[in-house]
Amino acid sequence: MPLLEVENLHARYAFAPILQGISFSVDAGEIVSVFGRNGAGKTTTLRTIMGWLQPSDGSVRFAGEPIGGHSPDRIFRKGIAFIPEDRRILATLTVEENLNLGMFSLRRSRAEESRQLERVFDLFPRLRERRRQFGKTLSGGEQQMLAIGRALVGAPKLLLVDEPSEGLAPMVVIEIFAALARMRQDGIALLLVEQNVLRASAISNSCYVMEKGRIIKHGPPGEVLADAEVRQRLSV
């Protein structure tokens, strides 16, 4: 059974249809990437799964249970975390305080909270060095690390990641994608929306290409990117 199953999903903003019957799945411990031009519906897909946008039709199941239409906090407690493109770091809180917020709604012992913090600091040593710094003092790359870390401390089974390389220096992008690949090794599944097609496909088990709210191609990355029409659409 797939960890995440999306079937015939439709979603709209006001009266404008965005998702028009998409279906896909993510297995436990795998990375699935979603590619497409701006406006294809990629971010809307993540927001609808996470409950930020209510589906107008179709179903979303997580670990066999229906979650479509549930509230974001309920979905989070089931084991899904969302890292939005704008990161939403709290500028006036320290790195450690931002991380603690990721565990705020979870009942954890102090020992477990410390273990989760150490897990993040092991993944991103730079955050350990800056644990007392305020969010507003961090570079863009450090803020992205913090956004990922804040999601990880909740010990999710599935991460929804929206454009993690956006606006980052090439060396930082390498570090971020290495961290994402390591999460898969730790058993965390990822649904990744990313414009850097070659970088994302290199760590993905499978990928989907979206256009105008529909999936037009899917399969192993090598097979999908071997399609000349897809490469042209994605400017690869």
- Structural contact between residues 210 and 40, judged by C-beta atoms closer than 8 angstroms: yes
**25 within some domain:** yes
| 70 and 43 housed in the same domain | yes
**132 within some domain:** yes
**56 within some domain:** yes
Q: What is the CATH number of the domain that holds 58?
A: 3.40.50.300
| 174 and 204 housed in the same domain | yes
- Structural contact between residues 99 and 117, judged by C-beta atoms closer than 8 angstroms: yes
Residue whose tokens read 């998409």: 22
Q: Which of 109, 134, 155 is the last residue of a domain?
A: 155
| 146 and 169 housed in the same domain | no
**209 within some domain:** yes
Q: Which domain holds residue 223?
A: 4-79+156-234
| 179 and 164 housed in the same domain | yes
**207 within some domain:** yes
- Structural contact between residues 206 and 218, judged by C-beta atoms closer than 8 angstroms: yes
| 127 and 62 housed in the same domain | no
| 70 and 97 housed in the same domain | no
pLDDT tens for residues 67-88?
998 999 999 999 999 999 999 9
**86 within some domain:** no
| 15 and 111 housed in the same domain | no
Q: Which of 139, 155, 171 is the last residue of a domain?
A: 155
pLDDT tens for residues 130-161?
999 999 999 999 999 999 999 999 889 999 99
| 146 and 178 housed in the same domain | no
| 200 and 101 housed in the same domain | no
Q: Which of 101, 124, 155 is the last residue of a domain?
A: 155
- Cβ neighbors of 124 (< 8 A, separation 6 or more) are 145, 146, 148, 149, 179
165: DSSP letter: T
pTM for this model (two decimals): 0.94
Number of structural domains found in the chain: 2
CA-based end-to-end distance of the chain: 33
pLDDT tens track of the chain, all 236 residues?
A: 899 999 999 999 988 999 999 999 999 999 999 999 999 999 999 999 999 999 999 999 999 999 998 999 999 999 999 999 999 999 999 999 999 888 876 677 778 778 889 999 999 999 999 999 999 999 999 999 999 999 999 889 999 999 999 999 999 999 999 999 999 999 999 999 999 999 999 999 999 999 999 999 999 999 999 999 999 989 88
| 202 and 230 housed in the same domain | yes
DSSP 31-49: EEEEE--TTSSHHHHHHHH
| 221 and 202 housed in the same domain | yes
Phi, psi of 50 (to 5 degrees): -80, -10
- Cβ neighbors of 206 (< 8 A, separation 6 or more) are 30, 32, 33, 218, 219, 220, 221
**Long-range CB pairs of 87-92, under 8 A, 24+ apart, other chains included:** 87/143, 87/144, 87/146, 87/147, 88/147, 89/135, 89/138, 89/143, 89/146, 89/147, 89/150, 90/135, 91/134, 91/135, 91/136, 92/134, 92/135, 92/136
Q: Which candidate, 24, 16, 36, places its Cα nearest to that of 61?
A: 24
Give the three-class secondary structure for 204: coil
Tokens describing residue 208: 């989907």
